[in-house]
């Protein structure tokens, strides 16, 4: 059901493409103290491209979930290309957001967070963030955001016109020994895909420091067995 030309901004074709742009934004600008959510798509259009594949042009707003209940909206525009290839290859994104560089207020918090956890004794480990009731402790908030940023690498890579990914929960976080002055974190994240309603589990190893930002070093899809029957008692 590919739409071409101007798209209804509130409907799913535009929203899926904007979600891809959002994942891209978070991989490039996300941190323990900054992670963006989609606020609204203002304008969208799509066209087939010569090489086969579809290119979306988007005008949308995002908010930084780290800045209180609803921070100021940031206006962005993006081109999202879903290539047409035999085997899946991730979308290509070009993104421009206004005033992104001016957001520097988090530098202090990032350094404090870094100093606190870079010590060799540090061995953070936790499960279920948020818990079943939506609770996230103060201490876990930056890890939650980091997980979302790291998960965005996977969500971006796995996206197509038939997916719409969100991170549903962090199943676990386990700090690994620091390497090259990077915080090393092993996450298991649960991704939620809207169209299929599936919960998809990924284990990943990410590094972070205020200077180098988030990098994802390893990813591993993990089968979930929620559909299996309980073993007989």
Q: Which residues contact other proteins by CB under 8 A?
A: 1, 8, 10-12, 37-38, 40, 65, 130-135, 166, 168-169, 190, 192, 194-199, 226-230
Any bridge partners for residue 209, and if so which?
213
Instruction: Find the helix or strand (DSSP H, E) in which 20 lies.
Output: helix 12-29
Task: Rank residues 110 and 193 by Cβ distance to other proteins and give the closer one.
Answer: 193
Task: Walk across the sheet containing 165-179 and list its strands.
Answer: 125-129, 165-179, 182-193, 199-209, 213-222
Q: Is the peptide bond before 201 cis (omega within 30 degrees of 0)?
A: no
Q: Report, in angstroms and rounded to the nearest whole number, the Rg of the chain calculated over CA atoms.
A: 18
Q: Whole-angstrom Cα distance, residue 102 to residue 68?
A: 18
Please identify, using beta-carbon distances, which residue of 166 and 175 lies nearer to other proteins: 166
Contact 163, 182 (CB under 8 A): no
Nearer CB in complex with other proteins: 159/169: 169
What's the CA gap between 51 and 129, in Å, rounded? 42
Question: Minimum CB separation from other proteins for residue 228, in Å?
Answer: 5
**Is there a contact between 26 and 63 (Cβ–Cβ < 8 Å)?**
no
In the complex with other proteins, the residue whose CB is nearer, 157 or 192, is 192
How far apart are alpha carbons 232 and 20 in whole angstroms? 43
87 vs 227, beta carbon nearer other proteins = 227
């Amino acid at each position: 059901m590919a739409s071409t030309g101007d798209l209804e901004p509130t409907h799913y074709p535009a929203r899926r493409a904007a979600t891809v742009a959002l994942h891209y934004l978070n991989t490039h600008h996300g941190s323990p103290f900054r992670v963006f959510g989609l606020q609204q798509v203002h304008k969208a259009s799509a066209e087939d491209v010569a090489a086969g594949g579809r290119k979306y042009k988007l005008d949308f707003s995002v908010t930084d979930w780290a800045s209180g209940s609803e921070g100021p909206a940031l206006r962005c525009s993006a081109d999202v290309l879903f290539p047409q290839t035999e085997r899946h290859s991730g979308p290509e994104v070009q993104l421009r957001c206004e005033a992104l560089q001016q957001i520097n207020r988090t530098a202090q918090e990032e350094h404090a967070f870094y100093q606190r956890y870079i010590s060799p004794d540090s061995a953070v480990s936790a499960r279920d963030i948020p818990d079943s009731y939506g609770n996230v402790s103060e201490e876990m908030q930056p890890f939650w955001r980091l997980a979302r940023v790291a998960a965005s690498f996977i969500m971006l890579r796995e996206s197509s016109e038939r997916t719409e990914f969100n991170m549903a929960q962090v199943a676990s976080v386990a700090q690994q020994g620091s390497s090259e002055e990077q915080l090393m974190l092993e996450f298991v994240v649960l991704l939620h895909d809207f169209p299929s309603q599936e919960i998809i589990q990924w284990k990943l190893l990410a590094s972070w420091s205020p200077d180098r930002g988030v990098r994802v070093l390893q990813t591993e899809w993990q089968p979930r067995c929620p559909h299996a029957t309980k073993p007989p008692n």
